[in-house]
Amino acid sequence: SPTSAMPKKPATAKGAPAAKAAKAAKAVKEGLRSKKPTKVRRNTTFHRPKTLKKPRAPKYLRKSAPKANKLDQFQIIKYPLTTESAMKKIEDNNTLVFITDVRANKRQISQAVKKMYDISCSKVNTLVRPDGVKKAYVRLTQDFDALDVANKIGII
């Protein structure tokens, strides 16, 4: 047969005797199939370990365009109020009275008035009337006259 024709190699040890002895000593010390001791749990509740939390890195935007601001100045100020008490406020207190959107806050009302009528206001007082609409008393600064602004708007 072809296998018997091949010359036999001399039998050699796998490693040097010193290395073999060290390996055997390690096996005796640790054991061949050493087992990690089981952890003793001293608490009845299990707390899931906190793992790595990566920030989101989306492949595409979920919205094609940013959300448009629904409360712009034209939406905030609905119309100026022209009642007798509002007229009295214009004459005596340098104050304009507007009916505004219920969702608008004082800062938004102030900015809307500034944008629409090019006037600056010193303070804004608001109230929600019993019929559910918001009324804003816009007090103008000293350098603006409420009567002039009311004429320009077309209230008077």
What tokens appear for 70 in the block? 């629904």
Per-residue model confidence (pLDDT) at position 32:
74
Distance separating alpha carbons of residues 139 and 90, to the nearest angstrom? 9
pLDDT in tens, 131-148: 999 999 999 999 999 999
pLDDT band for position 104 (50/70/90)?
A: very high
pLDDT band for position 98 (50/70/90)?
A: very high
Q: Looking at this protein, which amino acid is placed at residue 27?
A: A
Best mean pLDDT range from 22-36, 58-72, 106-120: 106-120
CA atoms within 13 A on the CB side of 141: 9
Helix (H/G/I), strand (E/B), else coil: 55: coil
Per-residue model confidence (pLDDT) at position 101:
97
Q: Name which of 45-49, 63-67, 90-94, 131-135 the model is least confident about.
A: 63-67
In this prediction, residues 21-41 reach a mean pLDDT of: 84
